[in-house]
């Protein structure tokens, strides 16, 4: 591979990585200040609930709380918490309860549990608040901005090195 081809390939890789990181920040930003009317809403009876596992990054299994609803039999809706503490949800939601859920419909996402459950209400009381979902998604903003900034700084250093070598 020639030097010019290496420079072009390096430039493309640096540009794409910066773009991906800033896109992650954008996705995280879009999931802030959620308007519940923009999402699927369903009132249904809980036919099953509990703790199950979902596949996380790098093949890890993560515990999450799930509800399986009578009117939504094609997917389990779930809540993921990094601390894996779900006692409050297990205590608040019982099989047979009627709940209202707001979620992003992903029936064929390849996962056993759809963790894009945004809010759960029971008898007009919020059991799982959208603010917790928003907080979890805000990590994308920080990851994207920090990694994107480092990628841009690395790009600047890379180009200084390449052009400095060229002038010598």
Residue 111 pLDDT grade (very low, low, confident, very high; cuts 50, 70, 90): low
pTM for this prediction: 0.71
Tokens matching residue 157: 């250093």
d(CA 113, CA 7): 43
Give residue for tokens 């009876």. Answer: 45
Q: Which residues does residue 112 pair with via DSSP β-bridges, in sequence order?
A: none
Q: Mean pLDDT throughout 12-37?
A: 80
pLDDT in tens, 53-83: 887 666 778 899 999 999 988 888 999 988 8
Nearest to 99 by CA among 46, 51, 48, 50: 46
Mean pLDDT of the chain, nearest integer: 84
- Give the residue extent of every domain in the chain: 3-31+141-167, 36-136
Q: Domain 36-136: give its CATH architecture.
A: Beta Barrel (2.40)
Query: Torsion-angle region of residue 128: left (phi > 0), alpha (psi -120 to 50) or beta?
Result: beta
- For residue 99, what pLDDT is reported? 97
**Burial status of residue 99 (CB atoms within 10 A of its CB: 0-12, 13-18, 19 or more):** buried
Q: What does the block give as tokens for 71? A: 């009117």
DSSP string, 90-153: HHH--TT-EEEEEE---TTSSSSEE--EEEEEETTEEEE-HHHHHHHHTHHHHHHHHHHHHHHH
Mean pLDDT of 115-133: 93
């Amino acid at each position: 591979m020639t030097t010019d081809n290496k420079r072009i390939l390096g430039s493309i890789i640096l540009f794409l990585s910066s773009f991906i990181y800033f896109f992650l920040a954008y996705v995280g930003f879009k999931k802030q200040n959620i308007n519940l009317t923009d999402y699927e809403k369903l009132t249904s009876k809980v036919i099953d609930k509990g703790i199950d596992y979902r596949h996380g990054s790098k093949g890890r299994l993560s515990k999450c709380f799930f509800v399986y609803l009578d009117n939504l039999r094609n997917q389990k809706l779930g809540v993921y918490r990094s601390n894996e503490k779900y006692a409050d949800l297990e205590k608040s939601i019982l099989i047979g309860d009627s709940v209202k859920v707001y979620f992003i419909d992903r029936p064929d996402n390849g996962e056993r549990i759809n963790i894009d459950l945004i809010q759960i209400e029971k008898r007009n009381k919020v059991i799982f608040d959208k603010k917790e979902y928003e907080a979890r998604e805000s990590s994308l903003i920080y990851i994207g901005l920090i990694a994107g900034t480092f990628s841009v700084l690395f790009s600047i250093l890379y180009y200084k090195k390449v052009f400095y070598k060229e002038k010598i």
